[in-house]
């Protein structure tokens, strides 16, 4: 009976060791990597350039920013919101040049149906940014590149966001 006990114990220990080795292994699967030719597509790049010219020297526009890099969730009870936040990104974020403080988000309306990005304007994104107090400018497409119109729209959005900063949020 003693031998059976030790054989079962050795089998359990061996199984635990195998499971731990498999769980703790951090090797990346073999793959070939290469640098993308462009960070954003040609049309989006033109839109980004127009936005950058529109905001001038005081601000910087960055493209394809994860929403979690711009917003943070207060409180631990919002695990569902955190999962959503970590999966989303925004098309463009306007930052103050010196402090890299986000002052506005520019989003292209959804052109194709997706589980995360609905067609048209995303009401969840609008609500989230409104709660955070970060102004949002919707563009109908990335074809929207008229610098003076963009400048005027961004000035309106940024001024509105600055006015809301002085007010208390719910």
11 in a structural domain? no
The length of the chain in residues reads: 170
pLDDT band, very low/low/confident/very high, at 146 (cuts 50, 70, 90): confident
What are the pLDDT digits (tens) for 88-138?
A: 889 999 999 888 999 999 998 877 666 556 667 888 889 999 999 999 999
The residue whose two tokens read 């989303």 is 88
What is the structure's pLDDT at 170? 40
Average pLDDT of 14-22? 84
4 in a structural domain? no
21 in a structural domain? no
Higher pLDDT, 113 or 170: 113
Enclosing domain of residue 91: 42-166
Contacts of residue 160, Cβ cutoff 8 Å, sequence gap at least 6: 135
Q: Is the pLDDT of residue 73 over 80?
A: yes
Q: Is the pLDDT of residue 39 over 70?
A: yes
147: enclosing H helix or E strand? helix 147-166
Helix axes 123-132, 79-87, angle to 10 degrees: 110
Average pLDDT of 21-41? 77
What is the structure's pLDDT at 120? 75
pLDDT band, very low/low/confident/very high, at 168 (cuts 50, 70, 90): very low
**DSSP code, position 20:** H
142 in a structural domain? yes
Average pLDDT of every residue of the chain: 83
34 in a structural domain? no
pLDDT band, very low/low/confident/very high, at 55 (cuts 50, 70, 90): very high
What is the structure's pLDDT at 59? 93
Q: Count of domains in the chain?
A: 1
Contacts of residue 57, Cβ cutoff 8 Å, sequence gap at least 6: 97
Higher pLDDT, 84 or 127: 127
83 in a structural domain? yes
What is the structure's pLDDT at 28? 66
Average pLDDT of 78-84? 76
CA distances from 43 to 54, 94, 108, 110 (A): 17, 19, 12, 15
CA 138 to chain centre: 16
d(CA 140, CA 125): 16
109 in a structural domain? yes
Higher pLDDT, 21 or 153: 153
105: enclosing H helix or E strand? strand 102-108
33 in a structural domain? no
CA-wise closest residue to 96 among 48, 62, 142: 62
CA-wise closest residue to 90 among 63, 118, 113, 110: 63
Torsion of CA 89, 91, 152, 161, to 10 degrees: 10
């Amino acid at each position: 009976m003693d031998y059976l006990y030790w054989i079962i114990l050795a089998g359990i220990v061996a199984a635990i060791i195998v499971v731990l080795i498999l769980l703790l292994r951090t090797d990346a699967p073999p793959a070939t990597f290469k640098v993308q030719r462009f960070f954003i597509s040609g049309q989006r790049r033109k839109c980004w350039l127009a936005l950058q010219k529109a905001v001038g020297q005081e601000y910087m526009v960055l493209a394809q920013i994860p929403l979690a890099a711009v917003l943070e969730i207060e409180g631990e009870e919002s695990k569902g919101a955190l999962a959503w936040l970590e999966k989303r990104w925004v098309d463009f974020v306007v930052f103050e040049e010196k402090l890299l403080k986000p002052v506005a988000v520019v989003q292209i309306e959804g052109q194709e149906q997706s589980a995360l990005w609905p067609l048209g304007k995303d009401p969840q994104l609008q609500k989230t940014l409104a709660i955070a107090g970060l102004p949002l400018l919707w563009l109908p497409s990335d074809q929207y590149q008229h610098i003076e119109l963009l400048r005027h729209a961004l000035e309106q959005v940024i001024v509105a966001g600055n006015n809301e900063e002085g007010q208390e949020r719910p």
